[in-house]
Amino acid sequence: MAADSLADILAIAAHRDDVEQTCGGTLLRSASRGLRTAILDLTQGEGGTRGSAEDRAREAAEAAKILGVTWRQALDLPDGAIANTLENRLKIVRVLRKVRPRAVILPYWQARHPDHAIVASLGYEACFLSGLAKIDTGTAPHRPFKIVYASLYADVRPSFVVDITPFMEQRLASLMAYRSQYANQASGSGLFVAEEEIRERTFAEARHYGLLAGVKYGEPFVQKEVGLVDDLTLLPVQSI
């Protein structure tokens, strides 16, 4: 990690709890390997059916501790109405230049929730702008080396899967830290999965992607660029 960097990996998501659902296990695995991880939530959660922005802030702080992230912040983009504007791109640029990650995790670009889909392009364009010296934010330019897309809820073949088998319980605990969202309650009962089903669904999804990669539990990702291999004999995942 560069001396002036706050984190090696920055996960950018629309809402507090998105990261916990899609790449929490990867952040846990990364932290266990000595990498520093960070999360940027773009909204405060004021538009959600359940809970308040204040509830979500407290829960996000608790989840961050469980995930072992070293830095977490939320911007003030409107919940439910995120737009890919220059103003919003520059807000993310300021964070990128402060945190200076080598890798960025974004949501996959096709999603049921419009906020999730727009963050894929918004985040990518911010990463590009962050490397332009003539865009003055008071901090030095920085462009992440790698951008990957968390594709857990997308109907797409992943480019690769991260083995999160040892971290499943912590991953679930980070999600359940959002009690305002996932504890059983009358509000939004027709929209949210019952609390007693969350564990089963979470483990089933991770089991599916783990099986694709020959491990017990996994999280899927897509990269747009072609991968590079140095030694065919070291490629993981058995073919037959």
Q: Give the pLDDT of residue 4.
A: 86
Model confidence pLDDT, tens digit, residues 17-64? 999 999 999 999 999 999 999 999 999 987 666 668 898 999 999 999
Report the share of the chain in percent with pLDDT over 70. Answer: 93
What CATH code is carried by the domain that includes residue 23?
3.40.50.10320
Does residue 124 lie in a domain region?
yes
Model confidence pLDDT, tens digit, residues 106-153? 999 998 889 999 999 999 999 999 999 999 999 999 999 999 999 999
The model's confidence at residue 199, banded by pLDDT at 50, 70 and 90, is very high
The model's confidence at residue 195, banded by pLDDT at 50, 70 and 90, is confident
Q: How far is residue 78's CA from residue 66's CA, in Å, rounded to a whole number?
A: 27
pLDDT at 183 over 80: no
Q: Which domain holds residue 173?
A: 9-234
Question: Mean pLDDT, the chain, as a whole number?
Answer: 93
Does residue 4 lie in a domain region?
no
Helices 53-67 and 24-32: crossing angle in degrees, nearest 10, is 40
Q: How many domains does the chain have?
A: 1
Does residue 2 lie in a domain region?
no
- The residue with tokens 């200076």 is 100
Does residue 1 lie in a domain region?
no
Does residue 3 lie in a domain region?
no
| Range 212-238 average pLDDT | 96
Does residue 126 lie in a domain region?
yes
| Range 206-212 average pLDDT | 97
pLDDT at 185 over 90: no
Q: Give the pLDDT of residue 157.
A: 97
Does residue 239 lie in a domain region?
no
Does residue 174 lie in a domain region?
yes
Show contacts of 31-36: CB within 8 Å, 24+ apart.
31/67, 31/68, 31/69, 32/68, 32/166, 32/167, 35/1, 35/8, 35/9, 36/1, 36/5, 36/6, 36/7, 36/8, 36/9, 36/70, 36/71
